Structure 1
Amino acid sequence: MKEIIKRLTEAYGPSGHEEEIRNLIRSELEDEVDEIRVDKLGNLITYKEGSSDKKVMLAAHMDEIGLIVTHIDEDGFIRFSNVGGVSPYILLGERVIFGNGLEGVISKEELDSIKKLRFSKMYIDVGLDSKEDVKEEINIGDVATYKREFSDLGDRLLAKSLDNRAGCALLIETIKNLSTLANDTYFVFTVQEEVGIRGAQTSAFGINPDLGIAVDVTGTGDTPESRRMAVSLGEGPAIKVKDRSVITHPKVKDLMVSTAEEQEISYQLEVLEFGGTDAGSIHLTRKGVPTGVLSIPARYIHTPSEVVDYSDVENGVKLLDSILQKEV
């Protein structure tokens, strides 16, 4: 699974531009599922038949945060804004890559104080000397992402876009390991989560599931002077209780907790005081869907160097596999 995570995290796929990452996931799964298709918004929807006609939807978002071109000046410097939750304070000196492979570095104007750092004071330098040269390669509205390689630290994995390529890898591995399913199950790799959980909204409406589970990363409270939170790396996948987008349905939380305890799989309970996941859209679909979240603890989310513990991903696969053996 580490090799899958490496390929997923190094792929290009900012919100609204998920074709490359979608094709990569599709190539992994087209011989593993009963049906596979792409909907009008770009979600990759795969399906495996179960022994009952109840429908379970699992969702992991494919997209990553990025930077969108807003202006190109006469000297070829590119001004930009954010796509998703990007902080200007982590961008200085970072290398970025556009969809066509053009690379650049981020810098800033002279400032009296770093406290005045804003996107409007920053630019991307792609090594070209004029607006005309840049416009042969890049146009307004093009999107860049971090240029970073995957690193295997042993027990820990370090990469860009582990939010949420780690979740995608977890679903891929679950699909490959499954022998039987208690319910008809849709494994959905969604688009545009980072800009408003949009792909989950449309795909859930089309599937109309009886139960939903989003698979995503969550923050931790295990670094120096971090926000207090009862989630740590290496202590097992987290079962969400609440975040800003959802209060987990008791039926789903109890199913996940009881399954983990029956299978003696380490787990943590998660209350996230910020952020949300695809579950925020799924649970509000049509007449409502009982929905929960399986979370992979991660440090430094939305930076170029996110960190997860490999055992948490492995245990997430075991837990999800066991959950899918139960009728809903």
Structure 2
Amino acid sequence: MAVDRRRLLADLERLTNAHGPSGSEGEVERLMLELFGDLGDGTWQDDADSIVVHFKGHSSAGGIAVVAHKDEIGMIVKRVDMDGRVRVRPVGGLHPWAIGETPVEILLGEQSLAGVLSIGSKHVSIESPAAALKEGGALTWEAMWVETKLDAATLAARGVRPGRRVVIARHRKAPWWLGEDYVCGYNLDCRAGLAMLVASAHELAATPPAQDTWLIASSEEEIGGLGAVWSVGQVPASTVIALDVVPVAAEYQTVNSGDPILPCKDRAGLYHLGVVDHMTELAAGLGFGVQTAVLTSYASDATLAKAAASAARAVLIGYAGDNTHGFEICHVDGIVNGARLLVAYLGTPLK
């Protein structure tokens, strides 16, 4: 089962450079519509802002929805202090210690304003915020701010207000490589999943799936799978398959390799054992293995959609990642093989 590796990686680079914090995903949406083009039998954006591409199968019974999310973890403006410091809070599971002091952009419609997520000078005493950190205190969002070197009145005139999204600066989001096998970046969760979704669309356009299939680039996964819950529920699919990063951790016995990860359980529910077993056999036929895992601090669009009764079966094809919700490191073969496994399953799904 072939997947165009070069095209997948080119798409991934474009996707990682795009901004798409939860609820403000327009740039990624436009890019996904471009990448999908006219590959499917129908493409639309639904009321949850998910992008949906339908591929007619040989059978309309027991349809399959495949989901990867558009949004990335980011920040939101809580308030602007009188001195111009922009106070932010996380949207999704973003931790301040995972990104530290870093260039950011405050999104203002089609434009953005440069800033630096800051904690202040370190050559200080207990009178300054950074002093507690020097003594081993925890870094919290309350201690940080975005510095723009503009006063409150100027910021207001520029459109900075509570509710504006803040993201890591674009120049920091380009892929970084460790040799030829490992791609790194801040939002491989879930831009690699989106690249897998597009790669599978190319294959389905050439060879239709066994069952009606809907490829869904979902919205607002990072704050509870809200887009998938709605979007999967709007199509006649009994099975939902999520594509997403899965953490590398000793407690899960997962490793960063070319073998996709097929979780069996996460905090939101169980994954379908029969499908996991069938995918394990398909992977062996394709020449690679799989990893299984039981996850705790994790949920996917698939289990969240199943928990909301939007689908009967949940499945996750994961690509391994170190430093999840930080500067992630993923084995490229894990991404490519995950896409190959997906296409193989859509051709021969579990009955």
TM-score by length of 2: 0.87
Does 2:40 align with 1:33?
yes
Q: Name which of structure 1's ranges 115-124 and 237-246 shifts more when overlaid on structure 2.
A: 115-124
Deviation (angstroms), 1:92: 2.6
Give the 3-state SS of the residue equivalent to 2:88 in structure 1. Answer: strand
The residue that corresponds to 1:161 in the other structure is 187
Q: Which runs of 5+ in 1 are unaligned?
A: 222-226
Name which of 333, 345, 350 aligns with 1:311: 333
Structure-2 change in CA distance of 1:229 and 1:285 (3 Å): closer
The residue that corresponds to 1:124 in the other structure is 146
Does 2:237 align with 1:218?
no
Does 2:73 align with 1:73?
no
Deviation (angstroms), 1:181: 1.0
Query: Residue 181 of structure 2 contacts residue 331 of structure 2 at CA under 8 Å; is this kept in 1?
Result: yes
Does 2:19 align with 1:17?
no
Partner AA of 1:78 in structure 2: V
Deviation (angstroms), 1:116: 4.4
The residue correspondences of 1:139-154 to structure 2 (distance < 5 A) are: 139-147=161-169, 148=172, 149-153=174-178, 154=180
Distance 1:98 1:256 in 2: 42
Deviation (angstroms), 1:143: 0.6
Deviation (angstroms), 1:74: 2.0
Query: Residue 65 of structure 1 contacts residue 83 of structure 1 at CA under 8 Å; is this kept in 2?
Result: yes
The residue that corresponds to 1:133 in the other structure is 154
Query: Residue 48 of structure 1 contacts residue 184 of structure 1 at CA under 8 Å; is this kept in 2?
Result: yes
Query: Residue 213 of structure 1 contacts residue 291 of structure 1 at CA under 8 Å; is this kept in 2?
Result: yes
Over the matched positions of the two proteins, sequence identity in percent amounts to 27
Does 2:135 align with 1:113?
no
The residue that corresponds to 2:197 in the other structure is 171
Deviation (angstroms), 1:258: 2.1
The residue that corresponds to 1:282 in the other structure is 305
Distance 2:229 2:46 in 1: 12
Q: Which runs of 5+ in 2 are unaligned?
A: 1-7, 121-128
Aligned residues: 321
Distance 1:258 1:141 in 2: 47
Q: Name which of structure 1's ranges 111-120 and 143-152 shifts more when overlaid on structure 2.
A: 111-120
The residue that corresponds to 1:102 in the other structure is 113
Partner AA of 1:263 in structure 2: L
The residue that corresponds to 2:231 in the other structure is 203
Query: Residue 258 of structure 2 contacts residue 332 of structure 2 at CA under 8 Å; is this kept in 1?
Result: no
Deviations 1:212-268 (A, max 9, x none): 1111101003xxxxx432211124111111111121122221222222123333221
Partner AA of 1:174 in structure 2: S
Give the 3-state SS of the residue equivalent to 1:136 in structure 2. Answer: helix
The residue that corresponds to 1:224 in the other structure is none
Partner AA of 2:211 in structure 1: N
Deviation (angstroms), 1:286: 3.7
Give the 3-state SS of the residue equivalent to 1:157 in structure 2. Answer: strand
Structure-2 change in CA distance of 1:236 and 1:116 (3 Å): closer
The residue that corresponds to 2:278 in the other structure is 255
Distance 2:201 2:116 in 1: 38
TM-score by length of 1: 0.93
Point out the structure with the larger helix share.
Answer: 2
Structure-2 change in CA distance of 1:288 and 1:50 (3 Å): closer
Distance 1:67 1:189 in 2: 21
Query: Residue 251 of structure 1 contacts residue 290 of structure 1 at CA under 8 Å; is this kept in 2?
Result: no
Query: Residue 280 of structure 2 contacts residue 289 of structure 2 at CA under 8 Å; is this kept in 1?
Result: no
